[in-house]
Amino acid sequence: MSDTIRLDGRVLYLSQDPAVIEAQLAGENFTRDTAGPLRDNVSTDEITPVTVMLTYDERLGQYPYVGFKAGERLPIGRNAVKDGGFRVTVAGKRYGKGSSRESSPLAELSAGIRLVVAESFERIYQQNCDNIGILTTTDFSVLDRLLAGVAVPIDEFLKGRDSLTQQIIRSGGLLAYSRFVEWPAPGARASDAPNEAPGAEPKTLVEKIIDRHLHPGTASAQRGDGVFIAADWRFSHDYFTGMCAHLMHRAFGKPAPLHAPDHIIAFQDHLVLAPQSIPHVRDGLLPGVANLMEGHTSFSRGYPVRSHGALDGVPGSEGICHALMAEQYVLPGQVACGTDSHTPHSGALGCLAFGAGATEIANSWVTGYVRCKVPETLRIEIDGQLRDGVTAKDVVLHLLRMEAIRSGGAIGLVFEYGGAAVRAMSIDERATLTNMVAELGGFTGIVEPDERTVAFLKERRGVDFVLEGWMKSDADATYRDMIHIDANAIEPMLARPGDPGNGVPAPRLEQDVAIDIAYGGSCTAGKREDFDFYHEVLRWGVEHGLRVPERTRLYLQFGTMAVRAYCEEQGYLPVFERAGVTLVMPGCGSCANCGPGQSANPNDVTISAINRNFPGRSGPGDVWLASPYTVAASALAGKITTFEQLQRGHG
């Protein structure tokens, strides 16, 4: 990369005012002052909606920001950024939140964007930019200097970045850097005895896992250091397997020398229901889906990797990647990395699991290593006992509405969950806490493994796992901060449409909200215990003469085929049928705007147990987030309500 950077094009300010956006696209130039307030929380769902992610090359340059919402409008159309000659994008807080999709920065890069300036960035988005050669900065004075015609030294864009990241940026990206690094065969360090020596610094569980997986060329690592760590498991799903393989072959040749291919997994889960997806059928997108599937299957069949595919004869998949990782693969103390922001799901088992972009995973397939910055940890202590009808989903929505979280104060941190309420949770419920660290802005989530973890591994896999003494944070470990929550004080929660941080206690909703769609499923809410919750509400409803009303549709989608088998064994399916449920086989479905449960028009109102409700995430309508209890109760009522409120009204 050049030693200095000059501005050779226009600046696009992502203003809250759609008229400002439209004026810029028409050729008018603005300043930060005249552009007005900038949009915060611009998600990757808005930068590249899933309906445009049907390629993984420069054709993505037609689409950046086509899902961007200003006011109630979508002012940026196809090719607008490229045709406008923009080179810099400017936005507010938490830019690039949500999905780990590398399609977003790749679309920006392919449209001509070379620099993104924002008040703060989400971790995965910024790391993806580093990996492919887009510069980022939170220093608006750098923008002022560029606009004044100054050639700004590259060092100005590296301030505050760790040494490893600086080297990668200077190299022009991760794969260019990777060619000059030695990659010895990974092997977990046999002991953390140095940490147990008298006077050694106490460590968190995540710090211990990182220490045991460090690249041999790194003797030790401190908080804030950029490091490569050996990954026990590396996985991709059907949206990005082809992109990963394309990048890998370009950098390492074809066939590429995979490291430990039996610990690489390809999941077919996001696109399996595309033939039932409204926009994919309506807009003629199925050939693009077939293109992605060809890239996925070419890799999974061309290399001796593990694979979980589509079902035979019926629409659906073996399961969602995160649910299958927890059911079948990860163990306490391991490292897992995948092409999805909800990879922290598996942290419920006491492993270090985190999401990354396609370039990162492509590099890991060959080297066995993934990159991270040794993170600081935020301890979430949940004391007391959750009330009946209150779940882990309500806990996360409660956390998300805290201003310290909403403002981005936890970006890149580990969420370490503990306390009596967490110890009482099943692994399925703990997985809801760790899964939604993606929405909280964290690097990952983790729960110290305990006897419940051991029991889960025995029950689900037949594994006799023995916990080791090091698999917990030291008593005097250093935390960035601690948040104490009284579990008994948490009420059933909702998140208003637009952002998971728009939390409001459900009993305090000011007016009735009629719903058209209720959806329960996804990696967050398609687990066994989630279906226990759905069944509890629906059985009560059936016993009291209730059924989903005609104007409302309730979809329940299994997270894996094992969850469906569990529901069948428990006798849940007849109850679901009597209640008027539409059952959907496993897959990401409406959570990825690719299957039953998505909205069809902007007036549709959905209540959903998925993990995020950014504009366009599950169709054009409004999406309220809630727990499985509240989703099922609302479906029976035809309006948003809690299970307790439903019982009071029909007792």
Q: Mind listing the pLDDT tens digit for each residue in 425-445?
A: 999 999 999 999 999 999 999
Question: Following DSSP, what letter does each residue of 165-234 receive, concatenated?
Answer: HHHHHHHTSHHHHHTTS--PPP---S--HHHHSTTPPP--HHHHHHHHHB-TT-S---TT-EEEEE-SEE
The one-character DSSP state at 265 is E
Non-local CB neighbours of 295 within 8 Å, separated by 6+ positions = 56, 241, 242, 243, 245, 246
Give percent above pLDDT 70 in the chain.
98
Give percent above pLDDT 90 in the chain.
94
Which strands make up the sheet holding 233-237, listed edge to edge?
306-308, 264-267, 233-237, 335-338, 352-355
pLDDT of residue 124: 95
Report yes or no: 66 and 52 within 8 Å, Cβ to Cβ: yes
Q: How far apart are CA 328 and CA 179, in angstroms?
A: 34
pLDDT of residue 46: 96
The one-character DSSP state at 61 is G
- What are the tens digits of pLDDT across the range 270-299? 999 999 999 999 999 999 999 999 999 999
- What are the tens digits of pLDDT across the range 156-172? 999 999 999 999 999 99
The pTM score is: 0.95
CA terminus-to-terminus distance, the chain: 69
What is the mean pLDDT of the segment spanning 401-423?
96
- What are the tens digits of pLDDT across the range 336-363? 999 999 999 999 999 999 999 999 999 9
**Cα–Cα nearest to 393, from 137, 236, 613:** 613
pLDDT of residue 188: 54
- What are the tens digits of pLDDT across the range 177-218? 998 898 998 865 554 444 455 567 999 999 999 999 999 999
pLDDT of residue 186: 82
Non-local CB neighbours of 83 within 8 Å, separated by 6+ positions = none
pLDDT of residue 198: 55
Q: Is 599 helix (H, G, I), strand (E, B) or coil?
A: coil
**Cα–Cα nearest to 95, from 127, 62, 122:** 122
Report yes or no: 398 and 406 within 8 Å, Cβ to Cβ: no
Residue with tokens 């449209």: 111
Report yes or no: 617 and 623 within 8 Å, Cβ to Cβ: yes
Report yes or no: 559 and 326 within 8 Å, Cβ to Cβ: no
Q: Please confirm whether the linkage preceding 202 is cis (ω < 30° from 0).
A: no
Two tokens, residue 460: 């689900």
pLDDT of residue 189: 56
Output the CA torsion sign for 324, 328, 332, 338: negative
Mean of the per-residue pLDDT values of the chain? 96
pLDDT of residue 185: 85
Beta-ladder partners of 582: 555
Answer whether residue 407 shows pLDDT above 50.
yes
What is the mean pLDDT of the segment spanning 303-330?
97
**Cα–Cα nearest to 70, from 28, 21, 5:** 21
Residue with tokens 């990241």: 165
- What are the tens digits of pLDDT across the range 487-525? 999 999 999 999 999 999 999 999 999 999 999 999 999
pLDDT band, very low/low/confident/very high, at 138 (cuts 50, 70, 90): very high
Report yes or no: 249 and 293 within 8 Å, Cβ to Cβ: no
pLDDT of residue 194: 44
pLDDT of residue 57: 85
Domains and CATH numbers, the chain: 4-171 (3.20.19), 229-331+352-369 (no CATH), 372-489 (3.30.499.10), 500-650 (3.30.499.10)
Angle ∠(486,491,351) on CA atoms, nearest 5: 60
Strand (E) or helix (H) holding 68? none
- What are the tens digits of pLDDT across the range 540-584? 999 999 999 999 999 999 999 999 999 999 999 999 999 999 999
Two tokens, residue 449: 């493994």
Q: How far apart are CA 149 and CA 82, in angstroms?
A: 22
Q: Is 581 helix (H, G, I), strand (E, B) or coil?
A: strand
Q: How far apart are CA 85 and CA 142, in angstroms?
A: 20
